[in-house]
């Protein structure tokens, strides 16, 4: 069978091939490989009216896919044109949490399963979110910037009005309690002793009962009683703009907001205003309305923000886990003839 590796600079072609060959080592099957190198994350992702968050172009894939039976990718631009140009294609597997870069409708027409890898970076994002909490509350990134790049010894940050709280004495508020949010709760509660409040209306009572140390409550309570608020919910019509100016006004003076989820969840203008006024203690932001932010962004006016370029899911383990999950699913479909567990476009 012919396998097309569309690796990028995160899940590389080497990682894809190693995961695939490891899974199929005892299958008795033989494979031919073609490979193409995409440039994300060095070059930012793009989106269009058909697919989103992709790297490269569909035009550069047209000749490559002509003989492909299996496509393994993370950010390849898999449009209808690409699919129509791949008459032998049997399955597409992605090492990411959702197939936004694939025209799944076109795949469904051809009865081509689109496999994905949910939760592949949950550990990475959870640790990163906790890191942002620490960075903002304890002035880690800001004091480093002042010392390293401004030649300023900010001893004044030890003054009582500038110091933060220890996590053991703080309350963590989570918006979303899925694979990532649950790990953030575990780290903060078990590791530091933080109290944990959770808003997630989709968690069944039976699951809530498994976490007697956590308090499941409404959104307003989470926002008004938490010292650290971390967002871990999907972007949907229901969640769009859920952290509005009105909701931000509910937050405790000095509270810290962490967003490693999606920028569309937050009214960033209202957030920036609250940060500039000093009503909120700070924010840790890994996602933005424009990526990268425009040079005129209000973000650059703020000293109480730790800003990172969408790095939350970036760990060596996340790349390997994503490729491994995807290749496991391909094995089940190709070798064992069973439909995948993580199959997006079920038909």
**Residues annotated catalytic, as ranges:** 262, 291, 310
Taking CA 237 as the corner, what is the angle to CA 233 and CA 243, rounded to the nearest 5 degrees? 55
3-state helix/strand/coil string of 210-258: CCCCCEECCHHHHHHHCCEEEECCCCCCCCCCCECHHHHHHCCCCCEEE
How far is the C-alpha of 196 from the C-alpha of 227, rounded, in Å?
Answer: 10
Residues 308, 286 contacting (CB under 8 angstroms): yes
Distance, C-alpha 258 to centroid of its chain: 13
Burial of residue 52 (CB within 10 Å: 0-12, 13-18, 19+) is: middle
**Helix (H/G/I), strand (E/B), else coil: 297:** coil
Residue reference for tokens 């209000």: 298
Interstrand relation of 305-307 and 91-94 (parallel, antiparallel or unpaired): unpaired
Question: Which of 20, 5, 24 lies closest to 75, judged by CA?
Answer: 5
Straight-line distance from the first to the last Cα atom of the chain, in angstroms, rounded to the nearest whole number: 24
Helix pair 13-23, 316-334: axis angle to 10 deg: 40
């Amino acid at each position: 069978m012919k396998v097309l590796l569309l690796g990028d600079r995160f899940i590389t072609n080497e990682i894809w091939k190693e995961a695939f060959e490891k899974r199929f080592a005892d299958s008795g099957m033989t494979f031919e490989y073609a490979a193409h190198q995409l440039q994300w994350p060095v070059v930012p992702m793009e989106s269009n009216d058909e697919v989103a968050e992709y790297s490269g172009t569909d035009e550069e894939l047209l000749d490559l896919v002509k003989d492909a039976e299996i496509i393994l990718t993370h950010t390849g631009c898999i449009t209808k044109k690409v699919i129509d140009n791949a008459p032998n294609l049997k399955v597409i597997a992605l090492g990411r949490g959702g197939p936004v870069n694939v025209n799944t409708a076109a795949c469904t027409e051809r009865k081509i399963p689109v496999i994905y890898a949910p939760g592949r970076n949950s550990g990475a994002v959870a640790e990163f979110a906790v890191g942002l909490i620490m960075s903002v509350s304890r002035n880690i990134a800001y004091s480093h910037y002042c010392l390293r790049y401004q030649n300023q010894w900010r001893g004044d940050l030890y003054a009582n009005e500038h110091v933060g709280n220890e996590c053991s004495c703080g309350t963590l508020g989570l918006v979303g309690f899925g694979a990532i949010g649950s790990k953030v709760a575990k780290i903060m509660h078990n590791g530091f002793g933080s109290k944990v409040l959770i808003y997630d209306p989709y968690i069944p009572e039976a699951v809530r009962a498994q976490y007697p140390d956590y308090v499941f409550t409404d959104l307003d309570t989470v926002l008004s009683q938490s010292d650290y608020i971390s967002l871990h919910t999907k972007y949907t019509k229901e969640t769009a703009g859920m952290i509005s100016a009105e909701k931000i006004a509910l937050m405790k003076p000095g509270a810290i907001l962490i967003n490693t989820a999606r920028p569309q969840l937050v009214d960033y203008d209202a957030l920036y205003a609250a940060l500039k006024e000093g009503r909120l203690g700070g924010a840790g932001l890994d996602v933005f309305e424009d990526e990268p932010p425009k040079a005129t962004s209000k973000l650059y006016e703020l000293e109480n923000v730790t800003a990172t370029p969408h790095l939350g899911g970036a760990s060596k383990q996340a790349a390997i886990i994503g490729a491994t999950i995807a290749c496991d699913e391909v094995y089940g479909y190709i070798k064992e003839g069973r439909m995948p567990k993580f199959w997006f476009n079920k038909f």
